[in-house]
Amino acid sequence: MRFEPTFSITPKIATSLMRIEAARQAVRDLPVTPAVLATLRETARLYSTHYSTMIEGNRLTQEQVSGVVGQQQHFPGRERDEKEVLGYYSALERAEQIAASRVDVTETHIRTLHGLVMGEGRRRKRATPYRDGQNVIRDSRSQRIVYMPPEAKDVPPLMNALVEWIAASERDDLPCPLRAAIAHYQFATIHPYYDGNGRTARLLTTLILHLGGYDLKGLYSLEEYYARNLREYYGALTVGPSHNYYEGRAGADITRWAEYFCEGMADSFESVQRRAREAAEAGASDRSRALRRLNPRQRRALELFRENNTITSLHVAMLFGISQRTARSILSDWVREGFVVVTDPAKKSRKYGLAAEFAELP
């Protein structure tokens, strides 16, 4: 089976893509300190966890989610909700780890994320197999069938085709936001599991965006956008002339969904831009003279020293998406400028640390 989505890049999508790029660049250049960045990133993770599980009916509040994740609180009678929160948070962390390794998306990655979603926060939860029978989506009130996914025998080839399409669309330079939107739609359409499909679809979206360089420092939450208007979210996903996969859904035009997704991503990115700017301005009076001396690239490099005493050219290459040769040249410039010092001169594994003047900044 081949997956060939039908969609058009409308003026609305084009506008959203431009807004996304503008906000992405603005956030990249903001001089947010690593300490503030870490706080904003953790807040975004908790927001994503809260809203993605809330979409599925989780009853915990944002504050309660923070307490559960921090293992500071337990809520009797809400054990299932707590399990969902811990599972999603763990899967979100795993998605970020996969993205950091800069590998292609595989079915094993997707199945592992689903395993974590359905677990209890255990990091090594096994990858789960696809469903072996038919499932349906019903209206919670009327119990009428809203959607009938493909038969179980078709799930493996459809998932294989989806993963192949993700890789091919990247080679074809399809904008990453559109790639993520379409993958989200197709995963939800295949509905490869009995439960956890929505949460896993949203995690797959996050993984694709992070791999494509649209992680925005890990500060955004698309789930919050979806949760604000669930009817619009589900309405945009519901396309085609029939609720049956085989009667039109498979080849439906998904332009409406792509418009909805890209507009939501633009809104989310602009929201991050505002929050990051406010954080940068709030800390401006406390920013040292040393921090003001750094250029945008050096400020961003401070992120590397938040968890590492020393770094290598590989760290710099991965952070900026450049070759190690270029990274070594940049590090040589930074040594001359007094930003970093060589701590291990070994040619093949040279290590660098922050110069004493900047050691307190991370």
- Residue 6 covered by a domain: no
348 and 302 within one domain? yes
Rounded CA separation 333/93 (Å) = 34
192 and 95 within one domain? yes
Q: Answer whether residue 354 shows pLDDT above 70.
A: yes
173 and 227 within one domain? yes
- Residue 50 covered by a domain: yes
- 105 token code pair: 């998306």
Is 359 in a helix, a strand, or coil? coil
Rounded CA separation 48/226 (Å) = 10
- Residue 352 covered by a domain: yes
Specify the pLDDT at position 285. Answer: 47
- Rg (C-alpha) for the chain, rounded Å, is 22
Lowest mean pLDDT segment, chosen from 231-240, 257-266, 286-295: 286-295
Number of independent structural domains in the chain: 2
Of 278, 300, 325, which one is at a domain's C-terminal end? 278
223 and 351 within one domain? no
Rounded CA separation 47/55 (Å) = 12
Specify the pLDDT at position 220. Answer: 84
Chain mean pLDDT for the chain: 88
Q: What amino acid occupies position 142?
A: S
Is 269 in a helix, a strand, or coil? helix
pLDDT tens digit string along 112-142? 999 999 986 555 567 899 999 999 888 777 8
31 and 132 within one domain? yes
Specify the pLDDT at position 275. Answer: 83
297 and 231 within one domain? no
Specify the pLDDT at position 286. Answer: 45
Predicted model pTM = 0.77
- Residue 283 covered by a domain: no
Q: What is the CATH number of the domain that holds 153?
A: 1.10.3290.10
Specify the pLDDT at position 146. Answer: 85
341 and 251 within one domain? no
Of 220, 246, 278, which one is at a domain's C-terminal end? 278
pLDDT tens digit string along 322-336? 888 999 999 999 999
* Count of other CB atoms within 10 angstroms of residue 6: 10
350 and 248 within one domain? no
* Count of other CB atoms within 10 angstroms of residue 93: 14
- Residue 34 covered by a domain: yes
Of 249, 278, 307, which one is at a domain's C-terminal end? 278
Specify the pLDDT at position 289. Answer: 61
139 and 95 within one domain? yes
Q: What is the CATH number of the domain that holds 317?
A: 1.10.10.10
250 and 327 within one domain? no
Q: Answer whether residue 287 shows pLDDT above 60.
A: no
pLDDT tens digit string along 142-161? 888 888 999 999 999 999 99
Specify the pLDDT at position 269. Answer: 93
Higher pLDDT, 344 or 307: 344
Q: Can you tell me the mean pLDDT for 188-204?
A: 95
**Structural domain range at position 300:** 288-358
Q: Can you tell me the mean pLDDT for 296-324?
A: 86
137 and 228 within one domain? yes
Residues near 101 by beta carbon (within 8 Å), at least 6 away in sequence: none
Q: Answer whether residue 288 shows pLDDT above 70.
A: no
212 and 335 within one domain? no
